[in-house]
Chain A
Amino acid sequence: MNDEIIFMTSDASHTGNLTPLVHEIRHALFQLIESGKESSIDLRRLPLSPQEEHQLETFLGYGEVKADIQALGDTVLIESRFSGVWLETHYNQTSDILGKYVHICICPQLIKAQHQDMSFSLSQLEIAVDALSKSNESPDNQES
């Protein structure tokens, strides 16, 4: 019986979620400017068709900053043409997408140097500086 059948009335390539999403981004950017509140939107949790995802990326466009981070697979961070709106994509080592996010913030967390890494770097730097100094002090390197 026909009344037992559920049809998808809309085109499968159009969920209708793109417009509300860009409004949400606009609202989040307003909040960032007004109160400094940062936000993130997890695109993986939203039902967007591949076409809509592509439309979103086209809409956001490219701004001045693009960062490639190598951390067990690439992470690509792009500031969109709207300053303060960033698109972050995590890939695994076989270039499959693990996650995709829109961040509305001054600077995404992953771009910043991390305190823990810096502490480790300091100890490595001290060893390197020490080695360099000793090398330069050796008689072979002294000017006659």
Chain B
Amino acid sequence: MTKTTLNEQLQRSGISRRTFLKFCATTASLLALPQCAVAEIAQALGSASRPTVIWLPFQECTGCTESILRSHAPTLESLIFDHVSLDYQHTIMAAAGDQAEEARRTAIKNNKGKYLLLVDGSVPMGNPGYSTISGISNVDMLRESAAHAAGVIAIGTCASFGGIPKANPNPTGAVSVADIITDKPIVNISGCPPLPIAITAVLAYYLTFNRFPDLDHLNRPLAFFGETIHDRCYRRPFYEKRMFAKSFDDEGAKNGWCLFELGCKGPETFNACATVKWNQGTSFPIESGHPCLGCSEPDFWDKGSFYQPLFPWQKYKAKPGKGQQKHKGS
């Protein structure tokens, strides 16, 4: 059976070509691609057939799923999610137990080497019984599902780095996806939760160019993790002028000064919250008056108090700049 292309699907949904071009222009911008790439994205994406996606939720709080599903509908980013064939997502699918597992195995069998595997949540290695789905341990399900995947996208800090389940004393022996799967291209879209547009943009990039975008040394897409929160923070001028809030209710806090001395982890946190923002672009934590927790970085839960400064600010030597590029897209 011929799979529907995105163009056909959009037309059926009453989405105009102009809307699609707008999505392509916005996606190109988010991925730091030149505007001349918009036509290429539109052409490739429009003619791409519906890809099969298998989404495995393991040791997680469902925040990552909420992040993508709770966005207003229809949004530009939902164009892509509406298009993929999400054949398995244990949390939201109607089927359960054996029926659901049958759907997952059928999707794998029918799309060997072509489907994308999305994973949120960490994997407990201490005892397989700590987290199971239909009697299958997380690690077994991950290995089985990844074996024939074209690539793996780890969604959220738990899947990317172990996250909160891995926090001391790590009672379940939690590990990240990349600790188990070592022979597949893996993209980590960290964050607790991650920015939904980052997930969509990576999917759009993959469908367009048939590979993942350029990644940093932690396998995160550089387009979203190439700069720190501090680099793009609107409170940065206050940092440079040494104007810091000292408590949550002092004059500095009321006047929107820098939150560094209240423990802001922005200078060491690579993510795009300060530019993409949350809740349909409403704000991000610092804009709401709270320091960045550094949730997109490994072991963020174990780095001491959220409310202790990273270091005496005079010691801050890191220049505003780019994240380390590890390799070109794979």
Q: Which residues of A approach B to under 8 Å, CB–CB?
A: 1, 4-8, 12, 40-42, 44-45, 69, 71-73, 75, 90, 92-94, 96-99, 101, 109-110, 114-117, 120
Contact = CB atoms under 8 A, between A and B. Distances in A.
B25 interface: yes
Interface stretch (B70-78, B131-139, B159-167, B168-176): B70-78
B186 to A, nearest CB: 27
Contact of A92 (B28, B237, B275, B280): B280
B8 to A, nearest CB: 10
A29 B239 CA distance: 39
Contacts of A90: 22, 25-26
Interface of B: 7, 11, 15-19, 21-23, 25-26, 28-29, 32, 34-36, 72, 74-76, 236-237, 240, 275, 277, 280-282, 314-317, 319
B21 A6 contact: no
B204 to A, nearest CB: 14
Given A5-B316, A72-B22, A98-B26, A114 B17 contact: yes
Given A69-B18, A114-B17, 8 more contacts: A1-B314, A4-B314, A6-B316, A45-B32, A72-B19, A92-B281, A93-B280, A117-B18
B70 to A, nearest CB: 14
Contacts of A6: 316-317, 319
A75 B16 CA distance: 13
Contacts of A69: 18
6 contacts: A40-B35, A72-B15, A96-B282, A98-B281, A101-B25, A101-B35
Given A72-B74, A94-B281, A109 B21 contact: yes
A13 B74 CA distance: 36
B277 to A, nearest CB: 8
Contact of A99 (B19, B29, B237, B282): B29
